[in-house]
Amino acid sequence: MQEDDVNLWNSILISLKEKGRTRLPTDKAVIIIGNNQCGKTTLVGKLQGIDDLTKGIGLEYAYIDIRDDYKEDHTKLNVWVQDGNPKYSFLMKFALSKSNFKNTLVMFVVSMKTPWNIMDQLESWSVLLQDYIDNLEIPLEELREYKLKCVKNWNKYIEENVADKNGCLEPSLEDGVLTRNLGLDIIVIVTMTDYISILEKENNYKDEHFDFIQQALRKFCLQYGASLFYTSAKEDKNCDLLYKFLTHKIYNFPFKTPALIVEKDAVFIPAGWDSMKKINILSDNMHTIKPNDYYNSVIINEKTKKAFAKEIEIQAEDEQIFLNKQLGLLNQTANQQSVIGIPKQDSVMRSLTGVSKPGERRSSLTNPGQGSPTKKIDPVKSVNTANPGEGVLANFFNSLLHKKSSPSSAVPKTPSELSGSRSLSFDRTEYHTDTSDTAAELERLTKRTLNLSHETSIETNSSETSIEEPNSEHFDDKSSSEC
């Protein structure tokens, strides 16, 4: 064999050896965490290129084919989908362990279908993940190396991976960046961004609402050193870009796409690009919302909002409507009393003088027709109340009572005439048992009572002798003649 042939074979063997060393690793993994119905399974199907997927419970496993066309190599990316029910969080031990911690990327998934839940879900799952990592008992020095790698990757994007003047190995960071460093690469995925148009039509969301959501998400990503993706499987937005970004973060494939912030339903912000200064630009478009407002006070659940508004509407009944209802109930009660033969003097007294004491409204009176005792109002006691017009009204109702009881008998003298107080005379033909006639006459009587109340009060107060209530069965001749 010639020397040239030997050298050729050596070069081939060396190239094969070098190629073998650079094969894509097979121990890389992605853990997808998020609530149920947020689009986790659909997102995995898009990354796999599969449309028909079956959902499981607990902890699902899938894989994504990764191909390196340049090196003609391929591998499988392990994908673990954590159930949205926190009671299955103990299954995470099969997806994330101390041994594969450095080879794992985490994806937090939330949905634009329910934007009012986005921040609560992110906070809840991030705390759960932090507690889980703390219980892995990773050596502190090893965990510190993982966190330092996250810092370097953040600064690597903007080519600022430079040690400070004091020679510290840990690069400096801007305020708010990686304040909650977990030592893992993290991507926040917002799915179903096609619902943005529905939120605009049905919930009256404006651009400032979506700017408020975005700035809240970007602040969260700053704390964890995370990248941000807005995706829509229905409209196929950013799904292919997410696949390329995963291969870049995990397998170091080339990736040249810059940040995308123009389209509100297709946002992409890679880790290392963002800063508080850039986030504050969004506040320039907020006119009725403040950037630091509590998230759930701005992005409100529409069902809760409608239920709250309905409750307020029931409690805040219009004053005039309420008063008209009460007036109707009072009139209905008065009409019912008239139909069954009960005088309405009690309700009238209440309307003129307020609520009277029971003793001021009760006295005895004899029915001339039957000789049986009936109740009547003592006008003398009524005159002594706050409104002297009650005595005149009492005379009127007492006269009506006698007329209804014995139409053919003579009407006895009223107690007001015994006391010297002035009484009103009425024509018998003007009053009937009909409810409508009585109500009309009552209204006319009320007007006349107001004119006479002052005069009646003077006459009553000038009386120096006490008047005893007459016996309903005995009247003197003079009183009878006056009647």
Total tally of structural domains belonging to the chain: 2
Report if residue 289 sits inside a domain. yes
Tell me, what's the pLDDT at 342? 54
**CB-CB contact of 33 with 109 (8 Å):** yes
* 360 and 264 in a common domain: no
* 137 and 52 in a common domain: yes
Q: Tell me the average pLDDT across 470-480.
A: 44
Report if residue 330 sits inside a domain. no
* 412 and 269 in a common domain: no
Q: Tell me the average pLDDT across 360-369.
A: 45
Residue 267 pLDDT class (50, 70, 90 cuts): very high
Selected residue with higher pLDDT from 251 and 17? 251
Structural domain span for residue 406: 343-482
Chain mean pLDDT for the chain: 76
Last residue within a domain, chosen from 265, 294, 310: 310
* Residues 422-462: tens digit of each pLDDT: 444 444 444 444 555 666 667 777 766 666 655 555 555 55
Tell me, what's the pLDDT at 5? 62
* 113 and 46 in a common domain: yes
Residue 175 has pLDDT above 90, yes or no: no
* 412 and 286 in a common domain: no
Residue 163 pLDDT class (50, 70, 90 cuts): very low
* 273 and 210 in a common domain: yes
Report if residue 322 sits inside a domain. no
Report if residue 43 sits inside a domain. yes
Report if residue 266 sits inside a domain. yes
Q: Tell me the average pLDDT across 210-216.
A: 97
* 280 and 375 in a common domain: no
Whole-model pTM? 0.60
Tell me, what's the pLDDT at 439? 65
CATH code where residue 186 lies: 3.40.50.300
Q: Tell me the average pLDDT across 357-385.
A: 46
Tell me, what's the pLDDT at 364? 43
Put residue 183 in one of left, alpha, beta given phi > 0 → left and psi -120 to 50 → alpha.
Answer: left
Report if residue 261 sits inside a domain. yes
Quote the crossing angle between the two packed helices 319-339 and 345-353, to the nearest 10°: 150
Count other Cβ atoms within 10 Å, centred on residue 376: 23
Tell me, what's the pLDDT at 8? 76
Report if residue 12 sits inside a domain. no
Report if residue 1 sits inside a domain. no
Last residue within a domain, chosen from 285, 310, 335: 310
Q: For the residues of 147-200, what is the DSSP string, one character each?
A: HHHHHHHHHHHTT-----TT--SSPP--TTTTTT--SSEEEEEEE-GGGHHHHH
Last residue within a domain, chosen from 310, 330, 361: 310
* 162 and 237 in a common domain: yes
Which residues lie below 8 Å from residue 327, measured CB to CB, with a gap of 6+? none
* 179 and 48 in a common domain: yes
Q: How distant, in Å, are the alpha carbons of 18, 196, 230, 331 from that of 112?
A: 47, 7, 9, 56
Cα–Cα nearest to 186, from 198, 174, 194, 178? 178
* 176 and 35 in a common domain: yes
Residue 341 pLDDT class (50, 70, 90 cuts): low
* 383 and 466 in a common domain: yes
* 147 and 63 in a common domain: yes
